[in-house]
Structure 1
Amino acid sequence: MSTALRPSACPGLLRIVQALDGGICRIKLAGGSISADQADAVATAAEQFASGAIEATNRGNLQIRGIGVQSAALIERLLTAGLGPKNAAGDDVRNLMLSPAAGIDRQMRIDTRGLAEQILDTLQSHSRFHELSAKFAVQLDGGEALAMLEHPHDLWLAACERDGQTLWAFGLAGCPTDRPLGAVTVQNAHALVVAVLQLFLDMARPEQTRMRHLLGELPRLAFLEQLRERVSVRAISDWQRSPEAEALHIGVHRQNTTGRCYVGAVPPLGRLAPSMLRGAAQLARQFGDSSLRFTPWQSLLLPNVNAVDTDPVLEQLRALGLLTSKAEPLARLIACTGSDGCGKGLADTKQDARQLAPLLSAGQSVHLSGCSRSCAAAHCAPATLLAVAQGHYDLYFRDAAQPGFGTLHACNLTIEAAATLLDARSRSPLDA
C-alpha cells in the first residue's frame, strides 16, 4: 500500500472519515460478496476498534462506524482479511454494482462475475483510472430477477438477446431501464468500459466529476460518435429493460440449480451488530457455501442453501434479530444515520423510523432522510420523509415528472401525522 491516498470526502477502507459518532470506514465488497471468515473479521474489528456499529450500504458494501484512536489497527485487521484494494489509490474507484444473485439467479442471461473481475482489476491496476471521482460508478445487469434498476450510474451495461446472440446494451448517466445508447458483443464488453472511462477522462474538465456533468454540455450522440472510434458499437433502438418484481431480496428464493435456494434477511434499518454478522456467517458455513452477499437494499443473502434447510435458516436469522418477511413494516423502511451520528442530520431518523413502523399498513415503503443529501437511498423512494427539525418532517411522494424526492405533499409533520397521511395514501383507490 505504497501509493498515497488522494483527498476525498468519501470514506474508504484506508480513509477514515469523521462523523459525530466517530470515524467511518467503508469496505467495498467485490460484487457485494464476502466470505464467512471475512465477515467474522469485520465483526471483530468493529468490536475491538470501534463502537460495534456495522452498516449495510445501498451499494452492497459494509461500513464500520464509531472508530476512535485505533483506526490504524482496524485498517490492518481488514487488510489482513483480504478486504482491501490492490493499491491505496485503487480503493476509491472500485465502484461496480452487480445483482446480489449474480451467477445463481434463475432469470439471468449471463453470469456477470467474470466481467466484473476484469473491470475491477483494470480500475485498480491502471493509474489513469485513479483520477475518477470516488463516486463514479458502473453497473452490470445480467438480466437477473433480483436487480436494483433504480440507482443511477455513470455507465451501465445490461445483457439482452438479439437474433439468438447475447449482447450488452449500455447507457450513460442513468439506469438500465432507460433507452440504451447502443450495444456491444460479449467479447467487447470490457473494451467498452475501458473506452468509456478513457473518453470521459479525456473530455471532462476537472470540475465535471460525473458523467451527468459532462453530458450537461455534450450531447449523448456526440459522445457516442467519439466512442465508436474506439470500440465497435451496434445500434439497438428496439430494446428496453423491464422493471423487476420487488422484495426478492428477502425470504427464500429458488436458484438456477435444482434444490438450491438463497435466503435473504434485512438488518433493521441497515444496522448490524457484530453478533448478527458473526451469526449470519456461521449459518453460511453450516447451511450455505461459506459466503454472504450484501445487497443495494441494505440486506444480506445466504446463497446455495439446500431447499430442505431453508426453514431452520429463517428461524435462526430471526433469532439473530434479522427481518425475514416483506410483511414486516420495518423491513421496508430506509433511514440514514440521522442526528445521532451525523452533523448534517436534523432528526434522529433511525429512532423515528422505529416509531413509524408499527403505525404503517403492510407493504408501504418509506425513506426517512435527515437532510437533502439522501445518503441512505440512491433512488427515489415511493414516499420520503425529509427532516426539518427533531421529530418533524416534510412528506414527499415519488413523481416521475419531478426531480429529487418527488412532489411535496405536506410540511412539518410529526411521525404520528405522517403515519396518518401515509396510511390514507395507501388506502386511496387512486394509488391502487
Structure 2
Amino acid sequence: MRLHTADDGALARVRVPAGVVSAAQAYALADAAERLGDGALDITSRGNLQLRGLGPGCGGELARLLDAAGLLPAPRHERVRNIVASPLSGLDGRGHLDVQPLVRELDALLCASGRTPDLSGRFLFALDDGRGDMTELAADVMLLAEPGGARVRVTVGAASARVRPEDGPRAMLLAAEAFLDAASATGTKAWRVRELPAQGAELAGAPVWRELTSSAPAPPSPQGPDSAADPESAGPESAGPGSAAPVPGAVPAGPHGVGALSVGVPLGRLSVAAWRVLADIARAHGTGELRVTPWRGVVVPGAGPGQSGAPAAAGLVTDPASPWPGVGACTGRPGCAKSLADVRADATAHLAAGAGGLPVYWSGCERRCGHPRGTWVDVVATGDGRYDVAVRGAGADVPPDRRALPELADALAAARTITTPTK
C-alpha cells in the first residue's frame, strides 16, 4: 500500500466499490484502525474509507490485513476501483434497476483489464439506478438505468450509448479505455474526462460506440426514448436542498426491497466502537453488509427502526431532523499542515446556524478538499481567525463575506437561507 503523509501520521485510502463492505470486512477494518491507526475511520466524498494516524512503516502489514479480508483483490488495480452507486438501490423499491450486481461485474472487469491501471486514482465510475442521486457527483463514466429497467445509458464526455443492463459494465470499461485512447492521442496527461482538450467532446467519435450499438442493440424504452430519473423515484429519500443523500432513519422496504437503516456520520468520522456497532447490526439484524455513501453516511441493508438506538448512543445520527446531514468539513487542524483552522471544531460549534437550509462545507484553506457538488455554502478559513462565507453553485455564486468567529453564526444563517435560481 502507498501511504500518504499527513500532520497526524500517514493515511491510507481503502477503496470499497459502491461503498459495500461485509460485516466481516468491517470488523477487519476496525481492527486495522485500532492496531495501526488512530482508532477511527473517515468516510470520503466518494464513499471510500480512510485510516489515519498510521505509522510510516505499516503499509505492508495493512496490505496483508486488507488482503486477508478480501479488500485488496487486485493490488495493481487498487487505485482505479473508484466506483459509486445509488446506496439504496434494491432496498427501497425505488429506482428502475438494482445496480449492485452491475457494480460487482464492473469491479471484476476493471481488475482483470491490462489497461485500467493506466487510469488515475481520480477517475470515477458511477452507477445510478434511475433515481438521479449519482448525477451530482460528476463521474467520468456514468451508467443510468432508464424507466422499465430494460436498458441503461452509459455516458463518457459527450458520448453515450444505450445497452442492455447486462452489457452495461463492459460498456463502462470500454468507455474508460476510449478515454485513455483520447488522452494518448492528444498527448495530454489528463486524469479526468473534463481535462481532455475538448472536455470529452472528442469521445463522441470513438469507434467503441459503433461497436456497442451494433453488437448489443438496445430494446425499445417502454416510457419514451429520453426519460431520465423519474421524479417519483427520488421520493423522500433526499436530504435537503442540493443533496441526494439518504435521510437518516428507517428506510421502508419497497415491493422488491428489504428496507434499511440510514445512519449519518458527523463530519464523516466515526470511532471503531461506533463502526463495530454498525457491523453488529448488519450481522445480527441486516443482510450482513454495510454501504458507505458518498455523503459520509452508512446504510445498513435489512435493518430497521428497532436498531436505531445503539448507533445514536454511539454518537451517530438516526434522527431525520438532525442538523448534521447538512454540515461537512475537511480534515483541518491538526491533521492537515495546510489548514488554517480547526474547522471541525468550528463547524461543530456553529452546527445550528441556518439548520435546514443550504448545505454548508467548512474548509481549512482554499483547496476546499472534499467539498460537495450542487449549491452549497462555502466557509473557508483565512488564517486570521476569520472565515469567508459565500454561496457556490451554477448560477448561484454570492461574493464572500469575511467574518470573525463571533459574527459567523449570523452570516451562516443568512447564506443558508438564500434562494438560488434553479435550472
- Give the TM-score normalised by the residue count of structure 2: 0.86
| In structure 2, distance between residues paired with 1:427 and 1:213 | 34
Question: Residue deviations 1:309-334, cap 9 Å, x none?
Answer: x23x1111111110112322233211
Matches within 5 A, 1:208-287: 208-214=190-196, 216=198, 219-220=201-202, 223-224=204-205, 226-232=207-213, 238-241=226-229, 244=234, 245=236, 246-247=238-239, 248-256=246-254, 260-287=258-285
Counterpart residue number, 1:411:
401
Match of 2:302 among 301, 304, 315: 304
What SS class does the counterpart of residue 120 from structure 2 fall into? coil
Counterpart residue number, 1:198:
177
Match of 1:422 among 412, 418, 423: 412
Counterpart residue number, 2:319:
325
Counterpart residue number, 1:159:
145
What SS class does the counterpart of residue 399 from structure 2 fall into? strand
Match of 2:53 among 41, 60, 66: 66
Change over 3 Å in CA distance of 1:79–1:382 after alignment to 2: same
User: Structure 2: where are the runs of 5+ without partners?
Assistant: 240-245
How far did residue 385 of structure 1 move? 0.6
| In structure 2, distance between residues paired with 1:348 and 1:390 | 12
How far did residue 159 of structure 1 move? 0.7
| In structure 2, distance between residues paired with 1:259 and 1:127 | 36
Matches within 5 A, 1:132-143: 132-143=119-130
How far did residue 429 of structure 1 move? 7.4
Match of 1:149 among 130, 135, 151: 135
Preserved contact between residue 161 and residue 209 of structure 2 (Cα < 8 Å): no
Question: Residue deviations 1:231-279, cap 9 Å, x none?
Answer: 2177997334367352224111112357942111112111111111111
| In structure 1, distance between residues paired with 2:401 and 2:71 | 44
User: Structure 1: where are the runs of 5+ without partners?
Assistant: 1-13, 175-179
Counterpart residue number, 1:6:
none
Match of 1:207 among 189, 201, 204: 189
How far did residue 431 of structure 1 move? 8.6
| In structure 1, distance between residues paired with 2:417 and 2:206 | 49
Change over 3 Å in CA distance of 1:291–1:194 after alignment to 2: closer
| In structure 2, distance between residues paired with 1:158 and 1:428 | 31
Question: Residue deviations 1:93-136, cap 9 Å, x none?
Answer: 10111111222231121121222222111111112111011111
Counterpart residue number, 1:177:
none
How far did residue 44 of structure 1 move? 1.4
> What is the identity percentage for the equivalent residue pairs of Structure 1 and Structure 2?
29
| In structure 1, distance between residues paired with 2:318 and 2:5 | 33
Matches within 5 A, 1:345-384: 345-384=339-378
Preserved contact between residue 347 and residue 390 of structure 1 (Cα < 8 Å): no
What SS class does the counterpart of residue 362 from structure 2 fall into? strand
Preserved contact between residue 365 and residue 382 of structure 1 (Cα < 8 Å): yes
How far did residue 154 of structure 1 move? 0.7
Equivalent AA in structure 2 for residue 216 of structure 1: A
Matches within 5 A, 1:63-102: 63-68=50-55, 69-86=57-74, 88-102=75-89
What SS class does the counterpart of residue 384 from structure 1 fall into? strand
Counterpart residue number, 2:153:
169
Question: Residue deviations 1:350-385, cap 9 Å, x none?
Answer: 111111103343445211122233322342442111
Worse overlay, 372-381 or 107-116: 372-381
Equivalent AA in structure 2 for residue 252 of structure 1: A
Change over 3 Å in CA distance of 1:316–1:217 after alignment to 2: closer
| In structure 1, distance between residues paired with 2:177 and 2:257 | 44
How far did residue 420 of structure 1 move? 0.4
Preserved contact between residue 284 and residue 291 of structure 1 (Cα < 8 Å): yes
Counterpart residue number, 1:103:
90
Preserved contact between residue 173 and residue 211 of structure 1 (Cα < 8 Å): yes
| In structure 1, distance between residues paired with 2:352 and 2:80 | 40
Change over 3 Å in CA distance of 1:352–1:165 after alignment to 2: closer
| In structure 2, distance between residues paired with 1:59 and 1:426 | 24
Preserved contact between residue 348 and residue 390 of structure 1 (Cα < 8 Å): no
What SS class does the counterpart of residue 25 from structure 1 fall into? strand
- Give the TM-score normalised by the residue count of structure 1: 0.84
What SS class does the counterpart of residue 231 from structure 1 fall into? helix
Worse overlay, 232-241 or 106-115: 232-241
Match of 1:119 among 88, 99, 106: 106
| In structure 2, distance between residues paired with 1:60 and 1:230 | 32
| In structure 1, distance between residues paired with 2:281 and 2:373 | 31
| In structure 2, distance between residues paired with 1:44 and 1:218 | 42
Preserved contact between residue 91 and residue 254 of structure 2 (Cα < 8 Å): yes
Change over 3 Å in CA distance of 1:365–1:94 after alignment to 2: same
How far did residue 421 of structure 1 move? 2.1
| In structure 1, distance between residues paired with 2:288 and 2:345 | 33
Equivalent AA in structure 2 for residue 230 of structure 1: E
Change over 3 Å in CA distance of 1:352–1:380 after alignment to 2: farther
Equivalent AA in structure 2 for residue 209 of structure 1: W
What SS class does the counterpart of residue 413 from structure 1 fall into? strand
Worse overlay, 191-200 or 164-173: 164-173
Matches within 5 A, 1:42-61: 42-61=29-48
Preserved contact between residue 19 and residue 292 of structure 2 (Cα < 8 Å): yes
Match of 1:289 among 287, 290, 293: 287
